[in-house]
Amino acid sequence: MDVHVPFAVTVALKLRGIEVLTAQQDGCSEFDDVALLIRAAELVRILVTQDDDLLQIGASWQAEGRRFAGIIYSHQLQITIGQLVKDIELIATLTTTDEWMGRIEYLPF
């Protein structure tokens, strides 16, 4: 989870048994966006964000064919916390990490 994602989303997902690692827990809360995306790729973890800049970086990396572990993006004003939790839970339970390589998904579905 990027630092821009509300903590309530992380808590709700963990209560549902979804493994979540926040940038803060990983010691990456002060990383710039590129470093955070690189770190997520190193850990082979999909990056959940509400940061438009990360979305632009991800799209640029897609165009360049640069490898990353996937991005899930939602605009803060276009989704509720509850819907964000439900959509991420679906993704976590119904997809594999391999399916997310180089992929960007916009929420809500």
Tens of pLDDT, residue by residue over 40-98, are 999 999 999 999 999 999 999 999 999 999 999 999 999 999 999 999 999 999 999 99
What is the extent of the structural domain holding 78? Answer: 7-107
- Evaluate whether residue 92 is within a structural domain: yes
**What are the start-end ranges of the H helices in the chain?**
7-15, 33-43, 52-64, 81-94
- Evaluate whether residue 2 is within a structural domain: no
Verdict on whether the full-model pTM lies above 0.75 = yes
Residue 99 CB: number of other CB atoms within 10 A? Answer: 11
- Evaluate whether residue 91 is within a structural domain: yes
With beta carbons less than 8 A apart as the criterion, state whether 48 and 79 touch: no
The domain total for the chain is: 1
